[in-house]
Amino acid sequence: MIMRTLLALMALFVFGEAWAESHGVELASPMGVPEAVQLGRDLDGDGDADEVDISLEIIEVQEEVYPGEFVTFWVFAPEGRGMVSSARTPSPTIRVEQGDRVRITLRNTHYFPHTIHLHGTIHPNEMDGVPVFTQPPVNPGEAFTYEFIATNPGTHFYHCHVQPDVHVPMGLVGMLIIEPNRPDNEFARLIPGAGRITELSQAAQEHYQREYSLVYMDIDARLNRIPAAYHDPREIEQRMHREYDSTQHRPNIFLLNGRAFPYTLRDSLIEVDTDERVKLRVLNAGARTMQLHTHGHHPVLTHLDGYPLSPEAQVTRDVFTIGAAQRVDLELRTGRDDTYASGPGVWLMHDHVESTVSNKGISPGGDITAITYEEFVGPDGLPKVATSLDRYFDPAYYRGEIPVFDPEIFHTTPEEYAYGWSEKAPIGGAFDYVSREATMPPLPQRSSIEGHRIVADACEKPRGFRRIRVQGGTRFSRAGEVFAFEPRVLRAEPCEEVEIVFENVDAVRHALMLPGLNPMFTLEFTGPDTQVARFVTPDRDITLDFHCHVETHDEMGMHGRLIIGEGGQAHAHEEQHAVGGEEKRLHEGRGVVVAVDKRASRFVIDHEEIPGLMAPMVMSYQVEPASLLQDVMPGGQVRFTIDATQRTIIDIVIER
């Protein structure tokens, strides 16, 4: 079995148990992986580390923000490994302690230049992250380290300052919290996607029982579609930075922690109990002014832009005005009294600019979440409501194909809904009104399965040996590329042991992968460095593709061919063994569960070869229905059935 290294990257080593618990993710024990967070010495002798090194990269992700709506984002993410990334929108919440010596290294794995601007912190001018003014932009393949002493406690944030009118709404923004200094102050340093903070700092525990980081964004889906619709970085640059007019930015998707209703209810539900004080850290990362409204509760405004308000300046309200880039800290008091709370239940929380509680103009949607008392949270993690939420989880609802009201109200059926409408002109004559834009055709969903199907098995007893030197990095790229290998065509003989000497000349990670070979060959590490690994070629003439598996590196030029013998066309095993010319659709697999994310209906599994489909690897899969994950536990061994057409696991059997 493949070692379960990706697990550590995803959660425990990088984020701590808090992230796993707060996102409904269960985890198996990790095995040694380079950490994206390195903690150093205890400089003040108070029992916790005061040197913090964080390594971030930039990943392009495609996420379903509400049912049926897939959006492309760029996000800062903990430096990763392999094919299972922790990257998601928004960029992770970073937490450090007052007095910490902080080093944040940006390794630019993306195809555009970027920087990090630390917004609200006290830091040297040369660490301000503004291209041209304080530093050159960090180009693809380069790295830059931001160093500062965490001085002013409070809720701050960080974002890219290269073309920020585009890069920030693309997702390159996250919350940065400086916790007050306290002894033995241990907590998770990174929280992907923000949300519930379960490892409260010592200072927070003095006043609060719970804490949430809430990042609000508004995006124009037309902008986020551009990098998914084009592949040449030159064309993407022109369309995003010179043709798209950011002054005409028209947001139509409104997000809380990277999701819109109803997914906000399973991802960013504000769970509380009676007689608690709950800290809400709120960041408006969008371009508009929002009016945050809490139903049934009147929180106390305690901090603005990271700084505490005097008792006289603190206000109790049910609507808070938050401008672009502003942060507010709210103290939510729960229970039932005459001032702060109306009692247990499910109480909405949302921006009161009414258009923002819709998904492309169909309501309810947008940044709606709910303050939900524990006894009102169902076994599926969703709030118990008076009727049903089911219709809002149907993509057809947000495509406008399902009536907003029950057709029975009008004594009709969905099928006959439009029957009998008058064909006469409107009363008073024809008139114009603002209508929803025509729905853009959906982009193909990215799949880690495609391109990783087995096409050839390694020879069992090699008859020869060959050493091949390969270099990788930006310097080997051609016009219209960003990353590349050199050489791009490798040659070997059948049944030969091949030693790859791979020199990564960039300051970011690259992964040389032969995805069609069984067992799959991967050599991945952060440069500049040189490493060596071996594989055995198949015992036949065939041509195998190889590429860098870091997100977007393949399509930005980092791919090539390995010609074995005379070469020849490669066919996936399932195609070779198809019966009657028809491709097999269902495949059986077996493996050990690494992580379970019940809210997202996904799990990560370290699986053996899936005959006719996949080589052994650690992979994240969608599971439908989600109820299949009910009794699945990390570390357990399972058999599963995968629908190769839908790229979804449709059955799981737990082996006891």
Helix/strand/coil (H, E, C) string of 317-370? CCEEEECCCCEEEEEEECCECCCCEECCCEEEEEECCHHHHCECCECCCCCCEE
Residue 290 domain-assigned (yes or no):
yes
Q: What CA–CA distance (Å, rounded) separates 47 from 402? A: 58
Q: Hey, CA dihedral for 409, 411, 416, 421, is it positive or negative?
A: negative
Final residue before a domain boundary, out of 143, 178, 203: 203
Residues 380 and 472 in one domain: no
- pTM value? 0.89
Instruction: Provide, rounded to the nearest whole percent, the portion of the chain with pLDDT above 90.
Output: 73
Lowest mean pLDDT among 27-36, 460-469, 533-542: 27-36
For the chain, what is the domain count? 4
HSE (side-chain half, CA atoms, 13 Å) at 23: 28
SS3 203: helix
Final residue before a domain boundary, out of 571, 601, 626: 571
Residue 483 domain-assigned (yes or no):
yes
Kindly tell me if the per-residue pLDDT of 579 is higher than 50: no
> How large is the average pLDDT for residues 237-264?
96
Contacts of 421 (CB under 8 A, 6+ apart): none
Identify which has the larger pLDDT, 77 or 616: 77
> How large is the average pLDDT for residues 266-280?
96
**pLDDT of the residue at 433:** 84
**pLDDT of the residue at 572:** 59
Residues 555 and 603 in one domain: no
> How large is the average pLDDT for residues 530-555?
94
Residues 58 and 198 in one domain: yes
CATH code assigned at 567: 2.60.40.420
Residues 286 and 304 in one domain: yes
Residue 164 domain-assigned (yes or no):
yes
**pLDDT of the residue at 605:** 86
CATH code assigned at 636: 2.40.50.320
One-letter amino acid of 613:
L
**pLDDT of the residue at 3:** 37
Residues 316 and 347 in one domain: yes
Residues 150 and 107 in one domain: yes
Residues 289 and 344 in one domain: yes
Please provide the average confidence, as pLDDT, over all residues in the chain: 89
Q: What is the 3-state secondary structure (H, E, C) of 41-54?
A: CCCCCCCCCCEEEE
Q: Is residue 404 within 8 Å of 392, Cβ to Cβ?
A: no
Identify which has the larger pLDDT, 147 or 586: 147
Q: What CA–CA distance (Å, rounded) separates 187 from 16? A: 8
**Ranges assigned E (strand) in 88-152:** 93-97, 101-107, 117-119, 143-149
Backbone angles phi, psi at 440, to 5 degrees: -70, 140
Residues 183 and 329 in one domain: no
Q: Residues 118-144: pLDDT tens digits?
A: 999 999 999 999 999 999 999 999 999
β pairing state of 253-256 and 210-219: antiparallel
**pLDDT of the residue at 450:** 58
Residue 68 domain-assigned (yes or no):
yes
Residue 222 domain-assigned (yes or no):
no
Residue 407 domain-assigned (yes or no):
no
Q: Residues 443-500: pLDDT tens digits?
A: 666 655 556 777 899 999 999 999 999 999 999 999 999 999 999 999 999 999 999 9
Q: How many CB atoms are closer than 10 A to CB 275?
A: 12
Residues 25 and 54 in one domain: no
Residues 42 and 76 in one domain: yes
Final residue before a domain boundary, out of 178, 203, 228: 203
- β-partners of residue 537 are none
Residue 485 domain-assigned (yes or no):
yes
Q: Residues 355-372: pLDDT tens digits?
A: 999 999 999 999 999 999
Q: Residues 421-449: pLDDT tens digits?
A: 988 899 998 888 888 876 667 666 665 55
Residues 272 and 333 in one domain: yes
Kindly tell me if the per-residue pLDDT of 14 is higher than 50: no
**pLDDT of the residue at 634:** 82
Residue 443 domain-assigned (yes or no):
no
> How large is the average pLDDT for residues 216-236?
96
Q: What CA–CA distance (Å, rounded) separates 485 from 504? A: 9
Task: Supply the DSSP symbol for 125.
Answer: G
Place of tokens 């013998």: 565
pLDDT band of 8, cuts 50, 70, 90: very low
**pLDDT of the residue at 82:** 63
Residues 379 and 247 in one domain: yes
Q: What CA–CA distance (Å, rounded) separates 121 from 123? A: 6
> How large is the average pLDDT for residues 180-205?
93
Residue 490 domain boundaries: 456-571
